[in-house]
Amino acid sequence: MPRLLPESCRCVWLLALAWLTVTPVAAEVPEDPFRSPMWDYNLARYLGEGADIRHSDTVVLKAPPFAEDATQVPLTVDLSAFPHAVQEVIAWVDLNPVPHLFTLRPEAADIRTVALNFRIQQASTVRAAVRDDQDAWHIGSVHVEAAGGGCTAPSATASNPDWANSFGQVRGALFSPADGMAGSRLKAQVMHPMDSGMVANIPRFNIESVELRHTASQQRLASMSLSESASENPLFVFDLEHDDAPAGITLLLRDNGGNLTESRLGG
């Protein structure tokens, strides 16, 4: 006669079987072609454990192969060939003391290009991860050689005794696309020291949030969070696609000191 398990043991066994049945298998993380030591760590940190991740040649990063000025390295994230709806873009520099560069979330407009300058502390791979409408992350990467020291170099802006007179000034314009598509290009430079907090006796002082709003309706087109890896006097370029092209776009910036900068471009 077969020996029956006690009721409590049968319950534990059934619960374990049910857990094994419903527990999803973690998505396999693809190998890094650049073999960065921070690959797995940064993926988990910024995209989350078990995220659906794949490399993509439709997330195009443009940066110089060598950073002649480690405090001002131009980066363009070109999504013009990305075939999905963009839900979020996260960019980081693998080996920077603060790897995170920006997080961008489109709202009432599609983002096809975003560009800005960043600091680089040493030769590093730069990433941009784009989340589509199925919550899959598509990653583009580019490697930048550098002599280094960009994150720990003192701000040239703050060393100017007259820097306070130009603090918060915005120079920029709003352009219509030449091909007649519904959309616009915003290009703006903001005078701000963007202190990284990594220079002795100089605390962190940087722009933390950027918003683009339709000037007339105040509808938010996109929002961005920015970190210390961004360069001083940051230059932003956004290519936007939208059905109803706004006559003007308002740029709103707030830093960690509570300073709010507002500039209306176009219109």
Q: Is the pLDDT of residue 25 over 50?
A: no
Question: 7: helix, coil or strand?
Answer: helix
Check whether 16 has a pLDDT greater than 80.
no
What is the tens place of the pLDDT at every residue in 180-232? 556 789 999 999 999 999 988 889 999 999 999 999 989 999 999 999 999 99
Distance of CA 228 to the CA centre of its chain: 12
Beta strand pairing status for 100-106 and 66-67?
unpaired
What SS3 state is found at 217? coil
Instruction: Grade residue 100 by pLDDT with cuts at 50, 70 and 90.
Output: very high
- Check: CB of residue 53 under 8 Å from CB of residue 30: yes
Q: What's the chain's average pLDDT? A: 88
Domains and CATH numbers, the chain: 27-266 (2.60.40.2470)
| Cα dihedral 19, 134, 111, 166 in deg (nearest 10) | -10
Q: Could you tell me the sign of the dihedral formed by the alpha carbons of 117, 49, 55, 80, in that order?
A: negative
Q: Half-sphere exposure of 32 toward its Cβ, with a 13 Å CA cutoff? A: 17
pLDDT at position 5, please?
A: 45
Q: What is the pLDDT of residue 160?
A: 73
Q: What is the pLDDT of residues 107-143, one digit of tens each?
A: 999 999 999 999 999 999 999 999 999 999 999 999 9
Query: Does the structure show a pLDDT above 90 at 266?
Result: no
Mean per-residue pLDDT for 87-114?
A: 96
Dist. CA 261–CA 19, nearest whole Å: 52
Please, is 80 exposed, middle or buried when counting C-beta atoms within 10 Å of its C-beta (0-12, 13-18, 19+)? exposed
Token pair 């077969």: residue: 2
pLDDT at residue 260 in the model: 97
Helices (H), ranges, the chain: 7-22, 39-47, 163-166
Residues 30 and 50: their CA atoms lie apart, in Å, by: 12
Quick: pLDDT tens for 230-258.
999 999 999 998 766 667 899 999 999 99
CB-based contact 115:229 (threshold 8 Å): no
* Threshold 0.85, pTM exceeds: yes
Q: Among 73, 70, 110, 63, which Cα is nearest to 89's?
A: 110
Q: How far is CA 2 from CA 5, 11, 58, in A?
A: 10, 18, 61
149-190 residue pLDDT tens = 999 888 877 667 777 788 999 999 998 766 555 678 999 999
